[in-house]
C-alpha cells in the first residue's frame, strides 16, 4: 500500500463510529505489517473498569469483618457483665451468710449471776458501771421497748428462727418497736431500773417466740462463737 492509501485509511477510520484504538493502531501500522507479517494490537478499552468489582468485593469483606468484630466485642461485654453479676451475687450471699451467723456480746462486762441455780434465774446478769453501752446481740426487729414490771426499762428483739433476746434494767432505751437493728448496734444504756439491787444488765434468750422456752444465754452465745 502506498502512502496515499495509508493516509486514506487513517482518514476513513477517524470517521467510522465504534472503532477502537486497537483498530486505529492496526490501520496505522499496516505498511509495516505487510513487511513483517505481524500485526501489533494495542488495546486500552475497559482498563479502568477492572478495579470496580474488586473494590466492591473488598469493601463488602471489610464491612462484614467489622460487623463480626463488633458482634464479638458485644458478646465479650455481655459475658463479662454476667460474670460480674454472678460474682456480686455470690459475694452478697456470702455476706448474708456471715451476717446471719454473727452474734456478739450484749455488753462488755463480767458475769455476776448465771442461768438457773437454786433461785431459778431465767437469764444471766452482767455487772458494769452505770451507763455502759448495751448492744443488740444479733440483728433483728424490736418487738418491745418500754417499761416492764420487774425488768424496768426493757427491750426485746426478734431474730431469725423465732429466737428472742431480752434486755432488762436499762437506764435508757435508744430504740423503738418495729425498728430493725444490726448485730452490735447500740440499743440503750445499762442501769438499775425495775427490781434491781445495783447497776447491771439482765439478759435472756428465748426459743419459739416472745414467751417461748428460756435457755442459758451463755451456752447459747458460746454456741454462736461468743464467750465471756
* Cβ atoms 103, 137 nearer than 8 A: yes
Does residue 104 or residue 47 have the better pLDDT? 104
pLDDT in tens, 142-180: 999 999 999 999 999 999 999 999 999 999 999 999 999
Question: Against a cut of 0.85, is the pTM above it?
Answer: no
Q: Please report which helix (H) or strand (E) contains residue 66, including its range.
A: helix 51-101
| Mean pLDDT along residues 126-131 | 97
The mean predicted confidence, pLDDT, of the chain is 82
Beta bridge partners of 144: 156
Question: Residue 80 domain-assigned?
Answer: yes
Q: Do 140 and 191 reside in the same domain of the chain? A: yes
| Mean pLDDT along residues 55-65 | 77
| Percent of the chain residues past pLDDT 90, beyond the cut | 55
pLDDT at 64: 84
Residue identified by cell 477517524 is 14
Active site residue 200: yes
Q: Do 156 and 79 reside in the same domain of the chain? A: no
pLDDT at 4: 44
pLDDT at 148: 97
The whole domain housing 20 covers 3-36
Q: Do 72 and 135 reside in the same domain of the chain? A: no
CA–CA gap between residue 57 and residue 99 (Å, rounded): 63
Task: Tell me how crowded residue 151 is: count the other CB atoms within 10 A of its CB.
Answer: 23
Q: Do 152 and 213 reside in the same domain of the chain? A: yes
Chain-centroid distance, C-alpha 27:
82
Total domains in the fold of the chain: 3
* Strand-pair category, 200-207 with 124-127: antiparallel
Whether the per-residue pLDDT at 31 is higher than 50: the answer is no
pLDDT at 93: 82
CA–CA gap between residue 40 and residue 25 (Å, rounded): 8
CA–CA gap between residue 39 and residue 8 (Å, rounded): 19
Whether the per-residue pLDDT at 89 is higher than 50: the answer is yes
Q: Do 186 and 136 reside in the same domain of the chain? A: yes
Q: Do 27 and 126 reside in the same domain of the chain? A: no
Lowest mean pLDDT among 4-13, 51-60, 157-166, 197-206: 4-13
CATH code for the domain in which residue 188 is found: 2.70.70.10
Q: At what angle do helices 21-28 and 3-14 cross, to 10 degrees?
A: 170
Question: Residue 169 domain-assigned?
Answer: yes
Q: Which of 15, 200, 202, 224 is catalytic?
A: 200
Question: Residue 228 domain-assigned?
Answer: no
Amino acid at each position: 500500500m502506498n502512502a496515499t492509501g495509508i493516509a486514506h485509511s487513517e482518514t476513513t477510520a477517524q470517521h467510522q463510529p465504534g472503532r477502537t484504538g486497537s483498530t486505529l493502531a492496526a490501520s496505522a501500522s499496516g505498511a509495516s505489517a505487510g513487511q513483517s507479517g505481524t500485526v501489533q494490537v494495542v488495546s486500552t478499552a475497559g482498563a479502568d473498569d477492572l478495579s470496580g468489582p474488586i473494590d466492591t468485593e473488598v469493601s463488602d469483606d471489610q464491612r462484614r469483618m467489622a460487623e463480626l468484630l463488633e458482634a464479638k466485642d458485644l458478646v465479650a461485654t455481655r459475658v463479662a457483665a454476667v460474670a460480674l453479676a454472678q460474682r456480686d451475687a455470690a459475694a452478697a450471699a456470702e455476706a448474708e451468710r456471715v451476717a446471719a451467723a454473727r452474734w456478739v456480746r450484749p455488753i462488755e462486762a463480767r458475769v455476776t449471776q448465771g442461768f438457773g441455780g437454786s433461785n431459778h434465774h431465767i437469764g444471766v446478769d452482767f455487772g458494769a458501771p452505770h451507763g455502759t453501752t448495751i448492744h443488740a446481740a444479733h440483728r433483728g426487729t424490736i418487738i418491745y421497748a418500754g417499761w416492764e414490771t420487774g425488768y424496768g426499762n426493757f427491750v426485746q428483739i426478734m431474730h431469725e428462727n423465732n429466737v428472742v433476746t431480752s434486755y432488762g434494767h436499762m437506764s435508757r432505751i435508744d430504740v423503738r418497736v418495729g425498728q430493725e437493728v444490726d448485730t452490735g448496734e447500740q440499743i440503750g444504756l445499762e442501769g438499775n431500773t425495775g427490781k434491781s439491787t445495783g447497776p447491771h444488765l439482765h439478759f435472756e434468750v428465748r426459743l419459739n417466740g416472745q414467751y417461748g422456752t428460756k435457755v442459758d444465754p451463755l451456752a447459747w452465745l458460746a454456741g454462736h462463737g461468743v464467750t465471756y
